[in-house]
Structures are given as C-alpha cells and as structure tokens.
C-alpha cells in the first residue's frame, strides 16, 4: 500500500506544479511520470479553463475536470473517502471521461475497496487505453501487497 500512496502523492504534487507553472495550453491527466492525453476537444477545453482560473470549479460546476482535481486535493488533505464524492460528481457530469474513474480507483484501492477500484480501472482503460500501463501497475502493487 505504501507504493500506491507514493504514486498518488506524486501525481498530486506533479499536478500542483504544472498548474502553478501555467506552462501548458491544457493539462492532461498526469500519471506517474507520464502524461495521458485526451483527444476529446471538450475535455481539452475543460483543462484549459482550469489553467485560466484554478478556482473555476466554484463558478463552473459543470466541468468534470475541476471536480476531479478538487477530489485529488481532498484526497491529499482530508482523505480518500471524502474525495469519492468529488469523483462521483465528475463521473455524473461526463461518464465518458477517463480521468475521474482513474483517480477514483486510487482512492477506492487505498480504502481497500478493491472490487470497486478494479471496476473504475477497467472503465478508465475502456474509455482511454493510455491508462492501461498504470492500471497494470496498480493491479501489480495490489497483488504484491496482498501476497
């Protein structure tokens, strides 16, 4: 479980660095040291809006990217159980957006809700196959921790 927590914290830190730097036209999902792009123009627009105003989730509650980032912050500061609410809102807003499924999977696995976490991983990979290497890594961490 330490490996998963390290992986999650690293992702949150990298996101914060990129958001504060403002050096990209849009921010893709960051997983480990790899950037996951999203070809969906609407998803790219959400990411660009976030860079323009990181607090926009307060005034633009229809943006699932904002809810996902907020969930990541809540996971890091208040716990993963509370973060699930934010990921669920993001998923309700756009069930074809892989990023919140992936982040929700992290929280569920840390909460030892492995079956639900696996379902979220599968859905993230189904939507965007670029998540597959990271889903495999999470699965291998879980299997290693359990054995």
The predicted model gives 58-83 an average pLDDT of 88
pLDDT for position 57: 58
The predicted model gives 72-88 an average pLDDT of 94
Q: What structural domains does the chain harbor?
A: 2-146 (1.25.40.10)
Give yes or no for residue 96 having a pLDDT over 50.
yes
Highest mean pLDDT among 52-56, 82-86, 130-134: 82-86
Give yes or no for residue 60 having a pLDDT over 50.
yes
Alpha-carbon gap, residue 47 to 49, rounded angstroms: 5
Give yes or no for residue 1 having a pLDDT over 50.
yes
Closest C-alpha among 99, 82, 81 to residue 90: 99
pLDDT for position 144: 56
Contacts of residue 82, Cβ cutoff 8 Å, sequence gap at least 6? 74, 75
The lowest-confidence range among 61-65, 82-86, 123-127 is 61-65
pTM metric for this prediction: 0.67
């Amino acid at each position: 479980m330490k490996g998963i927590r390290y992986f999650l914290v690293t992702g949150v830190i990298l996101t914060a660095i990129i958001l504060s730097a403002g050096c990209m036209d849009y921010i893709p999902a960051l997983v480990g040291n790899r950037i996951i792009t999203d070809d969906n123009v609407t998803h790219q627009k959400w990411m660009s809006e976030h860079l323009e105003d990181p607090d926009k989730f307060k005034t633009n509650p229809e943006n699932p990217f904002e809810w996902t980032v907020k969930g990541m912050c809540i996971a890091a500061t208040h716990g993963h159980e509370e973060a699930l609410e934010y990921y669920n809102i993001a998923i309700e807003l756009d069930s074809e957006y892989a990023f919140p499924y992936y982040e929700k999977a992290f929280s569920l696995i840390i909460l030892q809700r492995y079956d639900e976490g696996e379902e979220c991983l599968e859905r993230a990979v189904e939507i965007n196959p670029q998540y597959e290497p990271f889903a495999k890594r999470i699965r291998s961490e879980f299997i290693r921790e359990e054995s």
